[in-house]
């Protein structure tokens, strides 16, 4: 069998032996990236710093409320919303346009629900994550015509 190497690990069956753990400590994405940067002949890379999410307040409730809304019940039974809630929290805390990023997370969760044979609700409204369509057209994420 061929050996596979890469960012997802080396599939050696030892879960703690991977590129994201150094000296027993789990690296943050910024630390991992800093370890792999290379300076160019005319430029020097600057270390990225980790951004604290400690100053984010009330976003967990907002994300959880959206992704576990009763309208998403059929989706929640098919696709675990937990990783999407975590992504939503990170988006609301760190994204330059939090609403847009939250919409992307909601859109992906809805799409995964549909792929799992679920019936995602029409969660977009004119006030939340609206899609603009050309004249005489209507946006429908999941459907057949």
- Under the banding of pLDDT at 50, 70 and 90, the label for residue 51 is low
Q: Give the distance, in angstroms, between the CA of residue 17 and the centroid of all CA atoms in the same chain.
A: 24
pLDDT band at 145 (very low <50, low <70, confident <90, very high): very low
Question: Over the stretch 96-114, which tens digit does the pLDDT of each residue have?
Answer: 777 778 898 999 999 999 9
State yes or no: pLDDT of 59 exceeds 90. no
Between 9-13, 22-26, 62-66, the lowest mean confidence (pLDDT) is in 9-13
Is the pLDDT reported for residue 62 higher than 60? yes
pLDDT at residue 118 is higher than 60? yes
Q: For position 7, what pLDDT does the model report?
A: 56
Burial state string for 15-42 with b = 16 or more CB within 10 A and e = fewer than 16:
eeebeeeeeeeebeeebeebeeeeeeee
Apex 29 CA angle, 93 and 43, nearest 5: 105
Is the model's pLDDT at 123 over the cut of 80?
Answer: yes
Give 14 or 84, the one with higher predicted confidence.
84
Mean pLDDT of the chain: 79
């Amino acid at each position: 069998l061929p050996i596979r190497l890469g960012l997802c690990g080396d599939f050696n069956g030892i879960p703690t032996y991977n590129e994201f753990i150094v000296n027993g400590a789990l690296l943050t994405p910024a630390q991992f990236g800093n370890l792999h940067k290379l300076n160019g002949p005319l430029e020097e890379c600057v270390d990225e710093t980790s951004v604290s999410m400690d100053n984010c307040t009330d976003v967990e409730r907002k994300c959880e409320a959206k992704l576990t809304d009763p309208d998403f019940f059929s989706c929640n039974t098919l696709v675990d919303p937990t990783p999407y809630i975590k992504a939503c929290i990170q988006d609301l805390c760190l994204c330059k346009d939090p609403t847009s990023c939250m919409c992307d997370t909601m859109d992906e969760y809805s799409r995964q629900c549909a792929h799992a044979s679920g019936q995602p609700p029409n969660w977009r409204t004119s006030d939340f994550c609206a899609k603009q369509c050309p004249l005489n057209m209507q946006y429908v994420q999941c459907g057949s015509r």
